[in-house]
Amino acid sequence: MINTVVLTGRLTRDVDLRYTQSGAAVGTFTLAVDRRFTNANGDREADFVNCVIWRKSAENLANFVHKGSLLGVEGRIQTRNYENKQGQRVYVTEVVVENFTLLEPRQNGGQQNNNNGNQAPQQNPFGTPKNNNFDNNNSSNQSNNNGNGGDNSADPFANSGDQIDISDDDLPF
């Protein structure tokens, strides 16, 4: 049997971090996931998926994300039930998160653009520094960006003017 869930969405509220009687951390949150299609009015609808995450991962998630954060989660669907105070049986279906990925750079209280060279470079979600400037000879770009480095990191061959020569032997197929 396969029970695997992969979702990408935005947090509808901050992670609700609590601790069990035995001391295990448990975080609950709701992820707003856009549907692939639009409705008759052309609006994109969203599903609101309840998620739960346990132990150290729950503490880490609660520390690094906030309402509106873009998040990728992997896990499994779980259904549980309990009896409420009125004696009614309540069924809950939720995603038990096993792994998560932060899909946006972390905001440092509005200080992200005030780097001025005093701190380590900001990291993007893939671990490569934002101000990684592949064109070391282009110092004018670095000085015109308020100390945040050139924004040529997306294309290391931008403005180089050099032709790239690739032979058929270099191709993996």
The residue ranges of every structural domain in the chain are: 5-102, 119-155
Distance of alpha carbon 55 from alpha carbon 20, whole angstroms: 10
Per-residue pLDDT of the chain (173 residues; tens, 9 = 90+): 899 999 999 999 999 999 999 999 999 999 999 988 888 888 888 999 999 999 999 999 999 999 999 999 999 999 999 999 999 999 999 999 999 999 988 765 443 333 333 333 444 444 444 444 444 444 444 444 444 445 555 666 566 666 666 667 666 65
DSSP state for residue 157 in the 8-state scheme: T
Q: Which of 31, 69, 68, 27 is nearest to 50 (CA)?
A: 31
The pTM of this model reads: 0.58
Q: Let me know: does 65 contact 107? Beta carbons within 8 Å.
A: no
> 5-102 in CATH: which number?
2.40.50.140
